[in-house]
Amino acid sequence: MDERATRIALLLMAHLIFLSAFALRLRNGERSHRIRSGAPWWIEYAPPLAWIPWAVALISDAFEIDVPLAVRVAGLGVALAGALFAAWSMWHLGRSYAVRMDIFAEHRLVTGGPFALVRHPLYFGALVYHVGAFLALGDLLLAAFTVVVVLPLLSYRAMLEERVLSDAFGDEYAAYRRRVPALLPFSR
């Protein structure tokens, strides 16, 4: 197996960690009563697409730049850390996790675990994963897609989630917003 194939295989393993957590969270089935939904359908289902752009790098190495081996290995570690952080976030949400921005009757505000570090840890994990994937593959197309598509989509979705959570949890969410940064840990 050549070096590029090894990097791709390791990135796929990191990706599968996230997808496994995602699939297991879907086992929860329907919740009791949906109170409201907070976003258009197309933006609700955009986050899983944020994990796909690295696949572009599989098609061609035409946009690959020379990256030292140590940086590539570090990139694999960064990508794995991002995938694990996103998976941890999903597990920590428990029954509150959903692809859609729905508020359910039994919904509670989750502020512990990764949510004590950032308000949108799934998105933070996705961004960390993409940075690591770029470093591991050295693919400029992947970097451009992350900056031009992934970051704006995740930022827009986070903004919509902020509105939904503010409406649903009022003062409790306002206090949480004052304590915890939105996307970058320790940025306060």
Ramachandran sector of residue 138 (left: φ over 0; alpha: ψ -120 to 50; beta: rest): left
Tokens of 110: 């989750």
Q: What is the 3-state secondary structure (H, E, C) of 144-166?
A: HHHHHHHHHHHHHHHHHHHHHHH
| Segments of the chain scoring below 70 in pLDDT | 1-7, 10-11, 13-60, 95-106, 186-188
Per-residue pLDDT, 99: 55
Per-residue pLDDT, 98: 60
Tokens of 168: 């649903």
Helix, strand, or coil (residue 88): helix
Q: What is each CA distance from 142 to 45, 78, 161, 165, in whole angstroms?
A: 20, 15, 26, 32
Per-residue pLDDT, 33: 38
How far is it, in rounded angstroms, from Cα 50 to Cα 13? 16
Per-residue pLDDT, 145: 83
Name residue 141's amino acid. Answer: L
Q: What is each CA distance from 180 to 48, 111, 124, 164, in whole angstroms?
A: 24, 9, 13, 17
Per-residue pLDDT, 70: 92
CATH number of 3-27+37-179: 1.20.120.1630
Place of tokens 């306002």: 174
Nearest Cα neighbor of 36 from 83, 96, 94, 105 is 105
